[in-house]
């Protein structure tokens, strides 16, 4: 750099001090994130300076979601059922009846039409000869173990001893199912002398089985079923008539049964011996209560909340919802400056050893800028130094303007060539 440029550089420094010192003495405002702050008296070749702001996440508090629940109860109508137990059974008799066949036997009565002529009768005797043997069966006597009743049945009836309460006594009898058929055969001991026989015929008649036959009548051995008849019997309760085919009919009560009554809620099992009769009546109302809590009453009518059973149920716990996530912001405190110019030594204006580093133009440009800055700063309505935001004092404006004028004079003088 040429020595003739020193006055110009001194002018620039003085002007810069006069215009910049008052603003530099004031505190710089806080940086705004994302805003590049203007530098005061920035130097060339400086790197940018950064800072970081951590912005927290924006969250919203969401309250818990709850609802109320209760224990529920209601009065339910009940039904009672009548049960009975027989202490002593009724006393009385049973009417028994059965249909039986009416069997008749045939008898023959000899009727003489003409008397016989006496003759020497044949001497002999009559013998009975069996034409058809009788059909018989051996009947065994059975006695009932509980009531002592007896009955006659065939051997092996009722599955043997103690079968269904009946046991054989050991007594037997022979019953005739079909009587034998016989005929009288005359056995001649001495031949008869023929004579005129008697003229006669047989008259037949039917007699009920078991009834005595007609006088002079002879049973022919022929039977028949003439019809049926109803046989009746009246026996105390617990007894039954002998024989088969009996049917029990109407019970005639002679003494009423002694019965105990018991009313129980419907569905309750009674004690042993009691039997439900089917008769019912309204019972006392019963309280029905739910096992747990619920927000709504159960199905059905009459439910109401139980006092003091209210509980709060949390459906969703309280939480936070992130509206905006946390983020980090980097901002520039001061920007990087341009690199400093490199000086080149050349002959200037025929003076040996002078350096032409284009400072004439730079100084002139800097002086013109300072003059413009001083003029603008003095007249600015906002009262601040341009590009700094610092207030401008009157003494600073005067100092800067004086420095510019003196600097211009020095520059002009230095440019004059010696004679």
Per-residue pLDDT of the chain (419 residues; tens, 9 = 90+): 444 544 444 444 444 444 444 433 333 444 444 444 444 445 788 888 888 888 898 989 999 899 999 999 998 888 999 999 988 888 889 999 999 888 999 999 988 888 887 877 778 888 888 889 989 999 999 888 888 889 898 888 775 555 577 888 889 999 998 898 889 888 888 887 777 787 888 889 999 888 898 888 899 889 998 888 898 999 998 888 998 889 999 988 888 888 888 998 888 888 888 999 889 999 888 888 988 899 899 988 889 999 988 999 998 888 988 888 988 888 788 888 888 887 655 444 444 444 444 444 444 444 444 444 444 443 333 333 444 444 444 444 455 555 555 555 554 555 554 44
**Count of CB atoms within 10 A of residue 404's CB?**
23
Q: List Cα–Cα distances, 375 to 19, 315, 361, 397, 399, in angstroms.
A: 10, 74, 21, 8, 12
What is the model's pTM? Answer: 0.27
From CA 278, how far away is CA 416, in angstroms rounded? Answer: 146
Q: Is residue 195 within 8 Å of 119, Cβ to Cβ? A: yes
Burial bucket for residue 373 (CB in 10 Å: 0-12, 13-18, 19+): buried
From CA 200, how far away is CA 295, in angstroms rounded? Answer: 118
Q: Roughly what angle, to the nearest 10 degrees, separates helices 394-415 and 359-379? A: 150
């Amino acid at each position: 750099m040429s020595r003739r440029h020193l006055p110009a550089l001194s002018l620039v420094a003085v002007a810069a001090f006069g215009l910049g010192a008052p603003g530099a003495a004031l505190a710089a405002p806080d940086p705004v994130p994302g805003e590049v702050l203007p530098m005061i008296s920035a130097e060339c070749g400086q790197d940018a300076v950064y800072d970081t702001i951590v912005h927290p996440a924006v969250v919203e508090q969401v309250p818990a979601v709850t609802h109320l629940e209760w224990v529920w109860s209601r009065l339910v109508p009940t039904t009672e059922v009548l049960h009975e137990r027989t202490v002593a059974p009724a006393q009385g008799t049973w009417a028994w009846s059965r249909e039986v066949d009416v069997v008749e036997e045939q008898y023959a009565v000899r009727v003489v039409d003409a008397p016989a002529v006496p003759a020497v009768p044949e001497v002999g005797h009559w013998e009975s000869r069996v034409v058809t043997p009788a059909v018989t069966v051996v009947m065994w006597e059975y006695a009932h173990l509980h009531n002592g009743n007896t009955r006659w049945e065939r051997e092996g009836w009722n599955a043997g001893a103690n079968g269904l309460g009946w046991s054989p006594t050991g007594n037997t009898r022979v019953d005739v199912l079909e009587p034998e058929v016989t005929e009288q055969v005359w056995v001649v001991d001495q031949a008869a002398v023929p004579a005129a026989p008697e003229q006669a015929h047989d008259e037949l008649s039917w007699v009920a089985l078991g009834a005595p036959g007609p006088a002079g009548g002879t049973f022919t051995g022929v039977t028949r079923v003439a019809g049926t008849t109803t046989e009746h019997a009246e026996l105390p309760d617990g007894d039954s008539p002998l024989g088969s085919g009996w049917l029990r009919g109407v019970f005639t009560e002679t003494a009423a049964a002694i019965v105990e009554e018991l009313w129980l809620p419907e569905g309750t099992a009674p004690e042993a011996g009691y039997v439900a009769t089917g008769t019912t009546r309204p019972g006392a109302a019963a309280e029905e209560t739910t096992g747990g809590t619920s927000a709504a009453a159960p199905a059905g009518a009459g439910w109401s909340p139980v006092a003091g059973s209210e509980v709060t149920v949390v459906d969703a716990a309280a939480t936070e919802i992130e509206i905006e996530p946390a983020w980090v912001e980097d901002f520039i405190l001061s920007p990087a400056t341009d690199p400093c110019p490199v000086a080149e030594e050349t002959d200037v204006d025929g003076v040996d050893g002078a350096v032409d580093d284009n400072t004439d133009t730079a100084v002139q440009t800097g002086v013109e800028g300072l003059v413009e800055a001083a003029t603008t700063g003095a007249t600015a309505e906002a009262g601040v130094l341009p590009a700094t935001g610092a207030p401008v004092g009157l003494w600073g404006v005067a100092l800067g303007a004086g420095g510019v004028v003196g600097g211009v004079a020095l520059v002009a003088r230095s440019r004059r060539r010696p004679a």
